[in-house]
Amino acid sequence: MAESRKPVISVHDLAKNYGELKVLRKIDMDIYKGEVVSVIGPSGSGKSTFLRCLNYLEELTSGEIDIGGVSLKGIDEDKHNKKLNEKAAKVIRKNVGMVFQQFNLWPHKTVLENVMECPVQVKKANKEETKKKAMELLARVGMDGKADAYPTQLSGGQQQRVAIARTLAMEPEVILFDEPTSALDPEFVGEVLNVMKDLAQAGMTMIVVTHEMGFAAEVANRVCFMDGGYVIEDGTPEEVFKHPKSDRAKQFFSKILNV
Amino acid sequence: MAESRKPVISVHDLAKNYGELKVLRKIDMDIYKGEVVSVIGPSGSGKSTFLRCLNYLEELTSGEIDIGGVSLKGIDEDKHNKKLNEKAAKVIRKNVGMVFQQFNLWPHKTVLENVMECPVQVKKANKEETKKKAMELLARVGMDGKADAYPTQLSGGQQQRVAIARTLAMEPEVILFDEPTSALDPEFVGEVLNVMKDLAQAGMTMIVVTHEMGFAAEVANRVCFMDGGYVIEDGTPEEVFKHPKSDRAKQFFSKILNV
Amino acid sequence: MNEFMHVAEIALPLLLQGLGTTAAISVLSILIAMVLGSAVGYMCLSKNKAVELIARAFIKIFRCTPFMVQVYLAYYGLPALGLNVSAFSTGVIILGMYTAAYTAVILESGVSAIPKGQFEASYAMGMSRFKTMVRIIFPQTLKIIVPSLTGQFVQTVKDSSILSIITVAEMTMMTKEAIGITFSPLIVYICAGVLYWALNLVIEFASRCIEKHNNRVAI
Amino acid sequence: MENFNIVWHYKDLLLKGLGYTVFVSVAAILIALCVGMLLSVMRMGGDSLPSRILKKIVAVYISFVRGTPVLVQIYIIYQALAVMGLNLSNLASGIIALSLNSGGFIAEIIRGGLTAVPKGQTEAARALGMSEPKILMRIVFPQVFKVALPQLTSEFINVIKVSPMLSVLAIVELTRTAQRLVTQTYINLPFYIAIAVMYFVICAGLEELVKLQKKRLERR
Amino acid sequence: GSSKNTGPLTLDQIKENGKLTVATEAAYEPFEYMDGDKIIGYNADLFAKICDDLGVELDYIDLPFQGILAGLEAKKYDVVGATLGVTAERAGKYTMTYPIQNGTTVFVKRKGDDSIKSIEDMSGKKVGTQTSCYNEDDTKKFNEKLKSEGKDGYAELLKYDSFPEAFAELKNGKIDLVAQNYASCAAVVMRNPDDYEIVADDSGKAEMVGTDTWVSWAVRKEDTELSDYINSEIHKFKEDGTLAELQKKWFGEAVDLPESDYIPAE
Ligand SMILES: Nc1ncnc2c1ncn2[C@@H]1O[C@H](COP(=O)(O)OP(=O)(O)OP(=O)(O)O)[C@@H](O)[C@H]1O
Ligand SMILES: Nc1ncnc2c1ncn2[C@@H]1O[C@H](COP(=O)(O)OP(=O)(O)OP(=O)(O)O)[C@@H](O)[C@H]1O
Ligand SMILES: [Mg+2]
Ligand SMILES: [Mg+2]
């Protein structure tokens, strides 16, 4: 990690409440270009919420997120931040892509149309060019053979690979993955993880919420363990898995790592 | 395994088609008292269908299943078998319980009512006694504290434990499990597997379709590997996992066992 | 405003008189619809193809023709068949049958919304088809269909207005009469609209209470 | 039997009435779709005061439309348009009345259909930077209309079925034609049976057609 | 529709529009009824002549009777040319033109129904009329009068959407009497002499219910130019014999009609 460079994403004091419920409490995190950060932790610890805040799919309660010079701010500090956030989100979403657990492909469009939709509609890109690029991306995830299929005709693993291609089509600097393999049949997990490995090797900056400890250990160069809305552990996979500092992490790993 | 005893379940030449699709092709299998059989195999290989035939949730196309002296027969041989099967199913379902992937608890009844419903309605058992026994069973799966809760108020793991208690209440000789943990959050898988371990140790005959290789290796005393509607491998966990005879099984394990 | 009060003063007594008839017709028709509709709905789920076909034909005929035309047919057709029933009874019967067709569809769709696993778990536990329906499926179905049933019954109240064409003195008939006296159709119709609305809000309120009760009992 | 010959004698008039019925219904349902979409969009607004008021208005509107007979609504709209000084033809007033009525129902259908579009679908679009109107028009509504096709069809059939009430505005659609012929010939049953069959063919035919189309869509 | 202006409608405007819009319910033999998809009848003939004289087209529209006066106020048309009984209420709200026929209510029974010998024999009979028609009012009042005399009154008063429906019901026995204006009843009986007859006294003269009533058309109160013109036309038709001729054609007899004091007191 090159601490001297400017971080791609910089999170300060981020907190998020749902009414009374404090889901994120006080998160500080800098993420640098080329990092692959794996976020792990028990159910309900706030992993998804954290990811969703980075993309402004959730309103921030307080604190600040800075991405590429544009920032989102908590509305507790100032109600008017909401309007500003909505503007900022337009820029941020161009830099930050997201891949969901449930793939969320649009079922009424073919694979190719799914990939082309946003470049054409949002970036107003040329149709012919976009199509060429979309086919390249589909080839990269091994899905060029299914360009004209509808999502429901694909297996989960294939859908997720298309979803990744769709995100790549917007040429983001960072991609957020929220449990990208946990809705998949075990046999298809591998193919999606391989695509992600390739992305990591190609230098893509990625934040991955996952239960796949194998992937976290092998591919990530940084692991964050969350619990109760806090980031409790943050370090290399070696540090976090082998020598967790907190009891909560120790306990969690003991449950997950052996049946 | 005591090969000399009469099998509890005896399957001869079982085949099952959905229209043109051959889902089970030619299955022969004897299952003896106290055996814990783990059925594994890729998605679509026919594992669920096999289990559902044993309980007559599916019509058999051809072949025969004999359970406790009563038999189900394929309707390809004789259409009238359908009527006979329906009668036989009434007896068979008393001997064979089933636990589903999606738990399928009845949402409009409390935990206790779920467990009591069938003994009272089907076996016409005495209410007071059934209640006593139901509470014992709930205690056995660690759910006696939630007797008056409704299913939706429980976690997945808790629901599955109740579903097991509900099945036990009918005092079956064999219990069929269809991926009992795959709808659970990872943190809750252990508690259900532990209940199943206890049952196995108490001598219950069980057939378990599962993706939990750890459980298959540790608890089962027999593993069947299915593919394309055939049982390709059938032996001890040691034999099947370590020295699979077929290439298909080798390939499958290589994908599943390491990321 | 003055005119409004004046017209309302003349119209309301008449309208309230009609409201009673409207309520009576609605209640009786809904009762018929519940009994007949459940029977037709159960027939739709039957394994016997002939039984199912009869039920489907019943539904189709009643759903695919305007209620107004059904009313005319019943009013002129029943006497032609030698049945001498009053206009009121004709109205109740035809509205009951019309609503029954919709009730049957709602019931059937409610049953199909219950996950297959609920049936299978019951069969696997040794329950009979009938027991499964009565003890496991229908109780869950009822909960699901309360909103659609409410919608249908509100519709029934409104459809009763069409019975004015066969001399039934329900609220719409009284509305016409009040207009004949006051010559202020807009005001009278607004009064009538509000009364219908109020009647239906009562139904909706009752249904919401039932839903709340359901939610409290089993989540 | 000879009575049915009379029906045959007037077949041209009846078919003309049928044509009117179809025209009025199609026009009304098309406008109603727009009204329905507009109402649902108004109902999706956030928690700010204006959008809360808007939501309340929509709620009252829908409740009124659903709670009062169409006949009453037709009269109220007919009179209200006149009071507002809009001098529209009866045909236009009738179509507007039907659309405003049906629009309320369609808004409810869309609301139901919206729950069938997983939240993830819109989130994926949002995360990819699509604007909210685009998300609605390109991602949400196409899916809503697909899942809600059966309900939308039965709403269309409903429009056909309530169109006879437009006879009170002198729109000579099918039922009004039959009524006229009945008063002219003093023969009732054969005419009413004839138009019942005509309505049945139209409505049941439409239902079957949509079912077929839906099956074709599902095959892909 | 007719005038877009808010002020009263003038004859010039009508001429400019090129048409006079007249609303009626064409289910009222022989005043106005459908022949194929054309409205014909006594009123139809009169309006055709009036429009001819004015040099404009007749825009004749067929509407259900119940809402017809409302549409006049809403300026949907210029004249309600339906057969309106002249009542104090109606005259209070609209200008009622000179009468064009005698509209006193009479009863029609099934031909040969011996249980009804005079209009006093109403005990336990079912009577039909049309909703919101002025005959309904007279029929109700007559019932009250019978009751005040200690008689039983009607078994039931049924209100139909239109008179033909009521006559059909009378024929098939669902009701025993229809109450409608004399002129129409005379025409109905004239065309169906085997089915119906008017309830008459011993001398065979039709028995009238209540006081003499006249029928005419309604025009908005402010449109005085139009109502005056129509009145002048009716007057002219009386003078030149057109009216008597048309009455003979449609009703079989001519009737004397007043031009003043035809509006009853409240
Ligand atoms: N829209 C919401 N309204 C209220 N509470 C919410 C909402 N979304 C999430 N929560 C709550 O916030 C907490 C954190 O949820 P989150 O989805 O971030 O957890 P997670 O770590 O991703 O868990 P999992 O591993 O199950 O996905 C949970 O307690 C959840 O119930
Ligand atoms: N009702 C049905 N109609 C038609 N085909 C069916 C039906 N049920 C199952 N199948 C097909 O039968 C095959 C075997 O299905 P089955 O559910 O038994 O597989 P499985 O081994 O349990 O897979 P999984 O691990 O995904 O649960 C599949 O190809 C499936 O599509
Ligand atoms: Mg999550
Ligand atoms: Mg399965």
What average pLDDT does the segment A185-190 reach? Answer: 86
CA of A78 to the centre of ligand 4 (A): 52
Confidence of residue E1 (pLDDT cuts 50, 70, 90): very low
Distance (Å) from the alpha carbon of E217 to chain C's nearest alpha carbon: 15
- Tens digits of per-residue pLDDT, E144-198? 988 898 888 898 899 887 788 888 889 878 899 999 998 888 888 888 889 999 9
Confidence of residue A231 (pLDDT cuts 50, 70, 90): very high
Of A42, A185, A212, the CB nearest to B187: A42
What pLDDT score does A29 carry?
94
Of C79, C180, C183, the CB nearest to E172: C79
Average pLDDT, chain D: 89
Confidence of residue B1 (pLDDT cuts 50, 70, 90): very low
Ligand 2 binding pocket includes B205 (Cβ within 6 Å): no
Distance (Å) from the alpha carbon of B149 to chain C's nearest alpha carbon: 9
CA of A57 to the centre of ligand 3 (A): 13
What average pLDDT does the segment D171-185 reach? Answer: 85
Q: Which residues of C touch D73 (CB under 8 A)?
A: 193
Residue of minimum CA distance from atom 4 in ligand 1 = A18
- Tens digits of per-residue pLDDT, C9-26? 999 999 999 999 999 999
Q: Indicate if the pLDDT at residue C126 is higher than 60.
A: yes
Query: Does residue D217 belong to the interface with chain A, where contact is any CB pair within 8 Å?
Result: no
Ligand 2 binding pocket includes B210 (Cβ within 6 Å): no
Cross-strand partners of A21: A18
Of E67, E89, E159, the CB nearest to C173: E159
Closest to E126 in 3D by CA, of E160, E162, E103: E160
Residue of minimum CA distance from atom 20 in ligand 1 = A44
Backbone angles phi, psi at A49, to 5 degrees: -60, -40
Task: List subunits contacting chain B, requiring 3 or more Cβ pairs under 8 Å.
Answer: A, C
Q: Which residues of C touch E69 (CB under 8 A)?
A: 183
Distance (Å) from the alpha carbon of B41 to chain A's nearest alpha carbon: 10
Which of D48, D51, D119, D128 should one mutate to test binding to chain A, selecting the residue with the greatest count of A CBs within 10 A? D128
CATH of residue D190's domain is 1.10.3720.10
Of A43, A214, A218, the CB nearest to B185: A43
- Tens digits of per-residue pLDDT, A51-60? 999 999 999 9
What pLDDT score does C218 carry?
52
Binary contact (E62, D172; C-beta < 8 A)? yes
Confidence of residue E252 (pLDDT cuts 50, 70, 90): confident
- In terms of residue numbers, what domain contains D181? 2-219
Closest to E21 in 3D by CA, of E101, E68, E81: E81
Q: Which residues of D touch E187 (CB under 8 A)?
A: none
Ligand 2 binding pocket includes B81 (Cβ within 6 Å): no
Least distant ligand from the CA of A19: 1
Q: Which residues of A touch D123 (CB under 8 A)?
A: 57, 98, 100, 104
- Tens digits of per-residue pLDDT, B48-90? 999 999 999 999 999 999 998 899 999 988 888 989 999 999 8
Tell which wins on pLDDT, C66 or E162. Answer: C66
What pLDDT score does E3 carry?
42
Q: What is the DSSP letter of B112?
A: H
Confidence of residue A2 (pLDDT cuts 50, 70, 90): very low
The question of ipTM being above 0.85 is answered as no
Least distant ligand from the CA of B185: 1
Binary contact (C219, B150; C-beta < 8 A)? yes
Residue found by looking up tokens 């039934």 in the block:
C168
Rounded-to-integer distance, Cα D211 and Cα C60, Å? 14
CA of D140 to the centre of ligand 1 (A): 24
Ligand 1 interacting residues, C-beta cut-off 6 A: A 18, 21, 23, 41, 43-49
Helices (H) and strands (E) in chain B, counts: 9, 10
- Tens digits of per-residue pLDDT, B4-50? 578 999 999 999 999 889 999 999 999 999 999 999 998 889 999 99
Q: Indicate if the pLDDT at residue C143 is higher than 60.
A: yes
Residue of minimum CA distance from atom 2 in ligand 2 = B18
First-last CA distance in chain E: 33
Interface residues of chain C, partner chain B, Cβ below 8 Å: 115, 117-118, 120-127, 131, 135-136, 139-140, 143, 218-219
Would you say C59 and C40 are in contact if contact means Cβ atoms under 8 Å apart? Answer: yes
What pLDDT score does D86 carry?
78
What pLDDT score does B128 carry?
93
Would you say E43 and E31 are in contact if contact means Cβ atoms under 8 Å apart? Answer: yes
Q: Which residues of C touch B57 (CB under 8 A)?
A: 120, 123-124
Helices (H) and strands (E) in chain C, counts: 9, 0
Give the highest mean pLDDT range of A123-132, C73-82, C204-213. Answer: A123-132
- Tens digits of per-residue pLDDT, E50-60? 999 999 999 99
Residue of minimum CA distance from atom 7 in ligand 1 = A18
What pLDDT score does E7 carry?
79
Q: Indicate if the pLDDT at residue D184 is higher than 80.
A: no
- Tens digits of per-residue pLDDT, B207-255? 999 988 888 888 899 999 999 999 999 999 999 988 999 999 988 888 7
Q: Indicate if the pLDDT at residue C104 is higher than 50.
A: yes
Q: Indicate if the pLDDT at residue B204 is higher than 50.
A: yes
Q: Which residues of C touch D157 (CB under 8 A)?
A: 63-64
Least distant ligand from the CA of B23: 2
Beta strands in chain A (DSSP E): 9-18, 21-31, 36-40, 62-67, 70-73, 96-99, 174-178, 205-209, 222-227, 230-235
Q: Indicate if the pLDDT at residue D183 is higher than 80.
A: no
- DSSP codes, C106-123: HHHHHHHTS-HHHHHHHH
Q: Indicate if the pLDDT at residue A235 is higher than 80.
A: yes
Query: E263: left (phi > 0), else alpha (psi -120 to 50), else beta?
Result: beta
Residue A210: strand, helix, or coil: coil
Binary contact (A121, D130; C-beta < 8 A)? yes
Binary contact (A106, D139; C-beta < 8 A)? yes
Residue of minimum CA distance from atom 24 in ligand 2 = B43
As given in the structure block, the two tokens for residue D140 are 């949400």
Would you say A139 and A148 are in contact if contact means Cβ atoms under 8 Å apart? Answer: no
- For chain C, domains (ranges, CATH) are 2-218 (1.10.3720.10)
As given in the structure block, the two tokens for residue D36 are 């329905």
Interface size between D and E, measured as CB pairs under 8 A: 63
Average pLDDT, chain A: 91
Query: Does residue E171 belong to the interface with chain D, where contact is any CB pair within 8 Å?
Result: yes
Best residue among A27, A38, A49, A177 to mutate for probing ligand 1, ranked by most atoms within 8 Å of CB:
A49
Query: Does residue D219 belong to the interface with chain A, where contact is any CB pair within 8 Å?
Result: no
Q: Which residue of D has its CA nearest to C61?
A: D200
| Closest ligand 2 atom to B45 CA | 21
Percent of chain B with pLDDT over 90: 71
What average pLDDT does the segment E239-266 reach? Answer: 88
The angle subtended at Cα D153 by Cα D150 and Cα D155, nearest 5°, is: 115
Would you say B122 and C126 are in contact if contact means Cβ atoms under 8 Å apart? Answer: yes
What pLDDT score does A1 carry?
47
CB contacts under 8 A, E 49-108 vs D, are 61-64, 66-67, 70-71, 73-76
Of A186, A212, A255, the CB nearest to B187: A255
Give the total number of structural domains in chain D. 1
Binary contact (B255, A190; C-beta < 8 A)? yes
What average pLDDT does the segment C80-100 reach? Answer: 92
Binary contact (C180, E67; C-beta < 8 A)? no
What pLDDT score does E35 carry?
80
What average pLDDT does the segment C113-129 reach? Answer: 89
Q: Indicate if the pLDDT at residue C152 is higher than 50.
A: yes
Interface B:E, ≥3 CB–CB pairs < 8 Å: no
Rounded-to-integer distance, Cα D183 and Cα E34, Å? 8
- Give the gyration radius of chain C's Cα atoms: 21
Q: Indicate if the pLDDT at residue E225 is higher than 90.
A: yes
Binary contact (E1, D87; C-beta < 8 A)? yes
